[in-house]
C-alpha cells in the first residue's frame, strides 16, 4: 500500500507500507498527516464483519486501531495535530454517527447542535479547535458548519448567513474553510476568520466550489465542479488572501483532482 507521498524539488519519495492482517491494501484510506509524519485515516477490517476502523500509523509504531470501548459499525479519523489530538467520526451500534476527539488514549464524543442526530469532525488545529458539520438527516435539516471549542459546539450558520454549510478545515491561526449556499448544487467555498466571512465564488463554468484545508497563513485548497459533467469530476483550486481564487492544473493523464 502506498501510504505517504513526500514532495521534493525534483519529484516524489514514495513509501510503501505493509498493512496488517485483516486489512487489505485496497481498503486503506489515509486522510491526514502531521508534520512529523503520523498518519490517520480509515481501513476496512475484513475479520470483524467488514467494519470500517479508524487508524493511526507512524514509522515507530506501525498501524494502531482506535479503540472506542464499544462495538462500532464504522469510524473515520480525519484530522491530527502535532501534539497527537485526533478527530473524526464514529458510528456505534446505536445508529448514531457522531464526531469524536481522541487524545492520550481517551475518546470524547462531540456534541450535536440542537435538533441534530449526527455530526462529523473534519479537522483540528494546534489549539485543539475542531471543525465539521452537524445535521438531522431524518427530518431533512440541512448541514450546519460547526466548530468545537473547549468541548462545546458552536453553530456557524448565523455568521455564514446561508441555510446549508460544512466546515472542512481549520488553520493554526484560526481560519475556518468550507462551503456554504442555499443548497449543494449552488454552494461556494468560504473563509471565516475573526468573524469575517469571505465568499470565494466559483470558477467560470462550474457550479460548486469547496475549500477543504487551510494553513496558518490563511492559504486554502479545495475543488470546484460542474454538476452537469458525467461523474462530477473535480478541478483543484487554491485561494490565497492576496491572490484570490485560482484553478490549478491537473496532473498529466488525470481527469479529476482536489
In a domain, 189, yes or no: yes
Q: Tell me, yes or no, whether 71 and 195 share the same domain.
A: no
**pLDDT band at residue 5 using 50, 70 and 90 as cut-offs:** very low
Q: What is the pLDDT of residues 175-220, one digit of tens each?
A: 999 999 998 888 999 999 999 999 999 999 999 999 999 999 999 9
Number of domains within the chain: 2
Q: Tell me, yes or no, whether 33 and 157 share the same domain.
A: no
Q: Tell me, yes or no, whether 1 and 92 share the same domain.
A: yes
Identify the residue with better confidence: 9 or 99: 99
Q: Tell me, yes or no, whether 102 and 2 share the same domain.
A: yes
In a domain, 68, yes or no: yes
pLDDT of 52 strictly over 90: no
Share of the chain above pLDDT 70, in %: 93
Asked which of 109, 132, 166 is the last residue of a domain, the reply is: 109
pLDDT of 3 strictly over 50: no
In a domain, 248, yes or no: yes
Q: What is the pLDDT of residues 101-115, one digit of tens each?
A: 999 999 999 999 999
pTM score of the predicted model: 0.90
Q: Tell me, yes or no, whether 96 and 221 share the same domain.
A: no
Identify the residue with better confidence: 18 or 113: 113
Identify the residue with better confidence: 140 or 244: 244
**Predicted pLDDT at 185:** 84
| Distance (Å, whole) CA 222 – CA 235 | 8
Q: What is the pLDDT of residues 132-187, one digit of tens each?
A: 999 998 788 899 999 999 989 999 999 999 999 999 999 999 999 999 999 888 89
Q: Tell me, yes or no, whether 19 and 139 share the same domain.
A: no
List, in sequence order, every residue forming a beta bridge with 211; answer none if it has no partner. 222
Q: Tell me, yes or no, whether 211 and 251 share the same domain.
A: yes
| Distance (Å, whole) CA 152 – CA 137 | 22
Size of the chain in residues? 258
Helix (H) or strand (E) holding 31, with range, is: strand 23-33
Q: Tell me, yes or no, whether 25 and 86 share the same domain.
A: yes
In a domain, 183, yes or no: yes
Q: Tell me, yes or no, whether 44 and 80 share the same domain.
A: yes
In a domain, 114, yes or no: no
Q: Tell me, yes or no, whether 3 and 68 share the same domain.
A: yes
Write out the three cell numbers for 218. 490563511
Identify the residue with better confidence: 225 or 185: 225
Q: Tell me, yes or no, whether 131 and 104 share the same domain.
A: no
In a domain, 134, yes or no: yes
In a domain, 243, yes or no: yes
SS3 11: coil
pLDDT of 258 strictly over 90: no
The boundaries of the domain holding residue 250 are 120-258
Q: Report the DSSP pairing between strands 86-92 and 97-103.
A: antiparallel
Asked which of 47, 75, 109 is the last residue of a domain, the reply is: 109
In a domain, 115, yes or no: no
Q: Looking at beta carbons, which pairs linking 189-193 to residues 24 or more positions away fall under 8 Å?
A: 189/220, 189/222, 189/237, 189/239, 190/160, 190/165, 191/218, 191/220, 191/239, 192/156, 192/159, 192/160, 192/167, 193/218
**Predicted pLDDT at 4:** 44
Mean pLDDT (the chain, rounded) = 89
Give how far Cα 66 sits from Cα of 46, 89, 101, 160, 244, Å. 16, 11, 11, 34, 39
Q: Tell me, yes or no, whether 81 and 166 share the same domain.
A: no
* Among 171, 172, 170, 122, residue whose Cα is nearest residue 143: 122
SS3 22: coil
Asked which of 47, 77, 109 is the last residue of a domain, the reply is: 109
Amino acid at each position: 500500500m502506498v501510504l505517504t507521498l513526500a514532495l521534493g524539488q525534483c519529484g516524489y519519495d514514495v513509501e510503501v507500507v505493509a498493512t496488517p492482517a485483516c486489512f487489505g491494501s485496497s481498503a486503506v484510506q489515509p486522510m491526514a498527516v502531521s508534520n512529523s509524519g503520523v498518519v490517520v485515516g480509515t481501513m476496512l477490517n475484513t475479520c470483524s464483519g467488514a467494519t470500517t476502523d479508524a487508524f493511526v500509523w507512524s514509522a515507530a509504531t506501525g498501524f494502531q486501531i482506535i479503540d472506542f470501548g464499544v462495538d462500532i459499525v464504522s469510524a473515520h479519523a480525519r484530522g491530527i495535530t502535532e501534539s497527537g489530538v485526533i478527530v473524526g467520526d464514529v458510528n456505534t451500534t446505536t445508529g448514531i454517527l457522531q464526531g469524536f476527539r481522541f487524545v492520550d488514549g481517551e475518546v470524547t464524543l462531540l456534541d450535536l447542535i440542537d435538533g441534530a442526530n449526527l455530526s462529523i469532525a473534519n479537522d483540528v488545529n494546534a489549539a485543539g479547535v475542531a471543525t465539521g458539520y452537524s445535521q438531522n438527516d431524518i427530518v431533512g435539516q440541512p448541514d450546519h458548519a460547526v466548530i468545537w471549542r473547549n468541548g462545546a459546539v458552536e453553530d456557524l450558520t448565523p455568521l455564514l448567513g446561508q441555510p446549508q454549510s460544512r466546515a472542512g478545515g481549520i488553520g493554526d491561526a484560526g481560519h475556518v474553510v468550507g462551503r456554504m449556499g442555499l443548497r449543494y448544487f449552488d454552494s461556494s467555498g468560504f473563509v471565516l476568520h475573526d468573524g469575517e466571512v469571505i465568499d470565494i465564488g466559483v470558477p467560470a463554468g462550474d457550479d460548486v466550489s469547496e475549500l477543504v484545508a487551510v494553513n496558518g497563513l490563511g492559504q486554502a485548497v479545495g475543488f470546484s465542479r460542474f454538476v452537469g459533467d458525467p461523474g462530477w469530476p473535480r478541478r483543484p483550486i487554491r485561494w490565497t488572501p492576496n491572490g484570490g481564487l485560482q484553478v490549478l492544473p491537473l496532473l498529466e493523464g488525470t481527469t479529476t483532482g482536489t
